[in-house]
Structure 1
Amino acid sequence: MPKADLSKIVHTIAEETNTPEETVARIYADTLDAYRAEARIQDYLPLFAERKVRATLRQNSTKPH
Structure 2
Amino acid sequence: MPQVDAEQIVHSIAEETHTPKETVARIYADALAEYRIDARIQDYLPLFAARKVRATLRQNSAKPG
- Distance in 1 (CA, whole Å) between partners of 2:58 and 2:12 is 13
Within a 5 Å distance, the mapping from 1:18-33 to structure 2 comes to 18-33=18-33
Q: Which residue of structure 2 lines up, in the alignment, with residue 12 of structure 1?
A: 12
Q: 5+ unaligned residues in a row in structure 1: which ranges? A: none
Q: TM-score, length-normalised on structure 1?
A: 0.87
TM-score (norm. length: structure 2): 0.87
Give the helix-richer structure, 1 or 2. 1
Unaligned runs of 5+ in 2: none
* 1:14 Cα deviation from its structure 2 partner: 0.7
Moved over 6 A (4+): none
Identity %: 75
